[in-house]
Amino acid sequence: MFELAPEFIRDSVLVTKLKLCQVRLQNDQRFPWLVLIPEVNEVTEVHQLSQQQQNQLIQESCLVSSTLKALTQSTKINVANLGNVVAQLHWHVVARFEDDEAWPGPIWGVGSAVPYPDQKRAEFIDSFVKALNSAQ
Amino acid sequence: MFELAPEFIRDSVLVTKLKLCQVRLQNDQRFPWLVLIPEVNEVTEVHQLSQQQQNQLIQESCLVSSTLKALTQSTKINVANLGNVVAQLHWHVVARFEDDEAWPGPIWGVGSAVPYPDQKRAEFIDSFVKALNSAQ
């Protein structure tokens, strides 16, 4: 059975599940920021996935990226697997704007998270899931 | 004909060409840092590539990642497409160590590049290409 690292339970909420990955929303309204977590235990690097899983990951990343960019009208999408702090393999997809707090630098480690009010988070997730479903 | 953005010519050197991407070494000896650049003009986001190119990119990223990790014995590989500063689509593959200058944060925007002495850069490229060729 797949076990999610406690940091993801604490800092993000489940948006939807795709074939390989859980898609989670980071609870930080400074950035529209999704995290894809392949439901595969004990993997820390993308290259440890099977070739089929690697292809599935990039396909899911691209689906989430194009949906997020269209929804937010962002300047750029940033995608990354870092994992220097939380080892469990995870893949960031972040919508970036020229007036966001970290532009043009990366977002990780910048300032402190600003949690969403519950209703705003629910509305974002609802909009995102609808857009994702119509893109598939 | 594919045109490389001038920032890559200035800041990196060609290591090898794979089916989709140029593999370049960032001229910064603080981090073993490769940049994959798909030889496709006028693309800024991974999701703008064709599905076949997306799969090829992740395969080449994984080949470069596993080779770099084995060669450097790094703690972690970081992979990312940011592109907030240089728009041309490019994909970072960076070997990270717990005693490197930016750990555990991301490397982008941290401090200033420390160029390799010519011989050290040539030796790194030679070792990397040999390891890549034996992994393919």
For residue B7, how far is the Cα from the chain centroid?
14
Nearest to B109 among A59, A77, A105 (CB): A105
CA Rg value for chain A = 14
pLDDT of residue A134: 94
Chain B interface test: which of A81, A84, A99 (most B C-beta within 10 Å): A84
Whether residues B76 and A108 touch (CB distance < 8 A) is answered with no
The segments of chain B whose pLDDT lies below 50 read none
- For A84-93, how does the pLDDT look when each residue is reduced to its tens digit (9 = 90+)? 999 999 999 9
Q: Among residues of chain A, what percentage have pLDDT more than 70?
A: 100
In the predicted model, what is the mean pLDDT of residues A64-77? 98
Query: Could you give the CA distance from residue A57 to residue B59 in angstroms, rounded to a whole number?
Result: 11
pLDDT of residue B89: 98
Domains, chain B, with CATH or none: 6-135 (3.30.428.10)
- For A26-70, how does the pLDDT look when each residue is reduced to its tens digit (9 = 90+)? 999 999 999 999 999 999 999 999 999 999 999 999 999 999 999
pLDDT of residue A136: 82
CA Rg value for chain B = 14
Those residues of chain B whose CB sits closer than 8 Å to some CB in chain A are 44-47, 49, 51, 54-55, 57-59, 61-63, 65-66, 69, 75-85, 96, 103-106, 108-109
End-to-end CA distance of chain A, in Å?
Answer: 27
Whether residues B96 and A84 touch (CB distance < 8 A) is answered with yes
Tokens of B3: 């045109």
Q: How many CA atoms within 13 Å lie on the side-chain side of A15?
A: 30
